[in-house]
Amino acid sequence: MRPHVSTPAHRTAGMAELVCSNSLKSESVHTAPWLLKQELRRAGSLLLACADEAAVPGGQALAVDRDRFSAAVERALAAEPRIRIVRREALELPAAPVAILATGPLTAPPLAAALARLTGREHLYFYDAISPIVEADSVNRDVAYAASRYGKGDAGDGDYWNCPLDREQYHRFRDALLAAPSYPLRAFEEPRYFEACLPLEELARRGPETLRFGPMKPVGLPDPRTGRPPYAVVQLRRETLRADSFNLVGFQNHLRFADQAAVLRLIPGLEQAHFLRFGQVHRNSYLQAPAVLDATLRLRACPGLFVAGQLCGTEGYVEAIATGFLAGVFAAAAAGGASVPPPPRATALGSLAHYIAHGPLPDYAPANISFDLLPPLPVPERDRALRHQRQCEAALAAFAAWLPQTAVAPALCALP
Ligand SMILES: Cc1cc2nc3c(=O)[nH]c(=O)nc-3n(C[C@H](O)[C@H](O)[C@H](O)COP(=O)(O)OP(=O)(O)OC[C@H]3O[C@@H](n4cnc5c(N)ncnc54)[C@H](O)[C@@H]3O)c2cc1C
């Protein structure tokens, strides 16, 4: 629809405009973002070829010149005789028997309303308040203790871990939280917080005890070492599909990532925490994917309509490229009356598709690729680097076995 209608974040008329950072994340071998890019490269991803062409020095990351990247994408699409480019705001869902919706986190309001009518308003989020996620291995379990509030649930298996704070630690944490800089809100991100998911720093500002009576409430959580509840507690909840990680319950916040890490590491037990996701609060349209999409990114309520990018419940440029690739394969196959199975769960692409179809409800939040989305190795490996290397090797082998099945899609696409 750009340049006739823009979004509050885009600045140009260019295709594939990167709205914020120019990084397509790590190129370090055997990291999760590397794995996702490797799979896409092996599948012949046009967008990654454009990114490689537009690459600029970025240390361990694939950084691109955003104008050259956008121009390369535009050139490639304009040169494809089977693609017709129409620059127009879509006000309604496509009527074509097979279509892909990829209008992003800032989907224009009329189309978002049409989508909400189809899926049910409760399944389309417009605003995001997400809590940080830490890698399970990086939590010091000599300090944190397993317990669910009033002994409910399955704490025996470590569904909940609790980081105890004494009075002094609590006030030091609150002071640091109040002193830490937040991301400036843009005009379209004016705070319209729901009371139920107020950012942590906003709660802290309300009074010295507010956190202790809110997300850091210790009642019903006695520390087994003392038999008494601590002064305050930070509760870590195991992620349903991410057994190797914990969510900091009620810790959504808007702090800058570097400062956020420093503040959260003041929590006893999290001194060495490795964050897989930081807390965020921002405008963001995305579907409550597991309630409405299947693992081929198809809307259950409208099986010819596939959803890709941020709207289907992933987060990040490369994840948007990845789900765009998948939706393209599935839609092209569907257009020819064929089908392609989702990539195996052991792959990065398959893990994203699996998370989209089976992620936690009702608290679904868009995911970046990370190792905790991949299944654990059949034989556990304690060494982190070795574990990740083996997961990558298994993923690439499974991906190589799946890839030939996609041949059906381009072949059908090429039919008159
Ligand atoms: C402010 C902001 C900053 C972000 N920064 C980063 C970052 O630094 N790094 C990162 O990895 N991820 C970032 N993200 C997350 C997100 O992954 C990226 O925005 C990513 O570009 C999403 O890709 P997409 O293809 O889903 O949507 P987009 O890249 O937004 O593409 C959607 C396109 O659809 C168009 N459109 C919308 N509505 C309509 C309509 N009704 N009719 C026709 N066209 C329409 C839009 O103009 C846009 O061109 C950011 C998100 C936001 C909102």
Considering the domain architecture, whether residues 164 and 293 belong to the same structural domain is answered as no
Please count the structural domains in the chain. 2
Q: Which amino acid residue places its CA nearest to atom 12 of ligand 1?
A: 316
- The residue out of 278, 306, 321 marking a domain boundary is 278
Considering the domain architecture, whether residues 140 and 272 belong to the same structural domain is answered as yes
Considering the domain architecture, whether residues 379 and 245 belong to the same structural domain is answered as no
Residue 149 lies in a domain: yes
Helix (H, G, I), strand (E, B) or coil at 36: helix
CA distance 360 to 337: 31
Give the β-pairing of 145-146 and 160-165. Answer: antiparallel
Residue 262 lies in a domain: yes
Cβ(204)–Cβ(174) below 8 Å? yes
Its pTM stands at 0.80
Dihedral angle sign, alpha carbons of residues 139, 368, 278, 388:
positive
- The residue out of 278, 310, 342 marking a domain boundary is 278
Q: How many whole angstroms from 310 Cα to the centroid of ligand 1?
A: 7
Binding-site residues, ligand 1, Cβ < 6 A: 1-2, 7, 9-10, 19-21, 89-90, 102-108, 111, 309-311, 315-317, 320
CATH code where residue 367 lies: 3.50.50.60
Residue 11 lies in a domain: no
Q: Which atom of ligand 1 is nearest to the CA of 186?
A: 1
Q: Which atom of ligand 1 is nearest to the CA of 317?
A: 11
CA distance 75 to 405: 29
Q: Quick one: pLDDT at residue 416?
A: 38
Residue 3 lies in a domain: no
Instruction: Note the pLDDT tens digit of each residue in 191-235.
Output: 545 555 678 998 999 999 999 999 999 999 999 999 999 999 999
Residue 325 lies in a domain: yes
Q: Which atom of ligand 1 is nearest to the CA of 16?
A: 29
Considering the domain architecture, whether residues 181 and 251 belong to the same structural domain is answered as yes
47: tokens are 């967008």
Considering the domain architecture, whether residues 157 and 236 belong to the same structural domain is answered as yes
Considering the domain architecture, whether residues 360 and 405 belong to the same structural domain is answered as yes
Positions of the chain with pLDDT under 50: 155, 187-188, 190, 192, 415-416
Residue-number span of the structural domain to which 171 is assigned: 133-278
Residue 13 lies in a domain: no
Considering the domain architecture, whether residues 98 and 180 belong to the same structural domain is answered as no
Q: How many whole angstroms from 274 Cα to the centroid of ligand 1?
A: 27
Give the β-pairing of 302-307 and 99-101. Answer: parallel
CA distance 35 to 173: 36
CATH code where residue 156 lies: 2.40.30.260
Pocket test for ligand 1, best of 7, 73, 77 (most atoms within 8 A of CB): 7
Considering the domain architecture, whether residues 258 and 145 belong to the same structural domain is answered as yes
Considering the domain architecture, whether residues 76 and 88 belong to the same structural domain is answered as yes
Considering the domain architecture, whether residues 297 and 386 belong to the same structural domain is answered as yes
Residue 183 lies in a domain: yes
Pocket test for ligand 1, best of 18, 20, 254 (most atoms within 8 A of CB): 20
Considering the domain architecture, whether residues 248 and 197 belong to the same structural domain is answered as yes
Residue 15 lies in a domain: no
- The residue out of 256, 278, 300 marking a domain boundary is 278
Instruction: Note the pLDDT tens digit of each residue in 291-300.
Output: 999 999 999 9
Q: How many whole angstroms from 313 Cα to the centroid of ligand 1?
A: 12
Considering the domain architecture, whether residues 101 and 139 belong to the same structural domain is answered as no
Q: Which residues of 285-302 are buried (b: 16+ CB within 10 A; e: fewer)?
A: bbbbbbebbbbbbbbeeb
